């Protein structure tokens, strides 16, 4: 790869693919039948793994207002440590939207418009260049 930023962007895209397939993986792998369970790959409020204590600044906060979903990751942004990407994925694994950030961005905030008739579980993701991939499951 040409540089670290290109590597991080590619990593974020690959990780987004994991989220897109997560509902399928979860249904076949989870003892709870439906929960995403990929320890060491996907981190959540409840499963922080090696990043215990980091959820507050890495799990995206979700706000739903009509057909708009806003994701905010309360994380500092600098060239050496920042949120690389947000994605919003539906339960079927279809990406509703994605936004890539750089260390020079002031905040990691993104807004997506839900397609007409969208309901059920959605997955909001936040990818940090140092603390990996974080997921928030919610319903609309």
Domains of the chain (ranges; CATH) run 4-139 (2.60.40.730)
Q: Rg for the chain (alpha carbons), in Å?
A: 14
Q: What is the pTM of this model?
A: 0.75
pLDDT tens digit string along 22-52?
543 443 333 333 456 676 789 999 999 999 9
C-alpha dist (Å) from residue 97 to 13, 47, 55, 80, 138: 12, 24, 22, 25, 16
Average pLDDT of span 80-92 = 96
């Amino acid at each position: 790869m040409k540089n670290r930023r290109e590597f991080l962007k590619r990593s974020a895209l690959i990780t987004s693919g994991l989220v897109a397939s997560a509902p399928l993986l979860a249904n076949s792998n989870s003892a709870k039948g439906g929960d995403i369970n990929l320890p060491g790959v996907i981190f959540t409020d409840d499963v922080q793994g090696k990043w215990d204590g980091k959820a507050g600044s890495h799990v995206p906060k979700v706000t739903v207002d009509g057909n708009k979903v806003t994701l905010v990751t309360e994380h500092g942004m600098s060239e050496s440590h920042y949120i690389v990407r947000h994605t919003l994925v539906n339960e079927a694994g279809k990406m509703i939207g994605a936004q890539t950030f750089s260390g020079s961005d002031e905040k990691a905030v993104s807004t997506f418009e839900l397609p007409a008739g969208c309901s059920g579980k959605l997955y909001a993701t936040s990818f940090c260049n140092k603390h990996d991939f974080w997921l928030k499951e919610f319903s609309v």
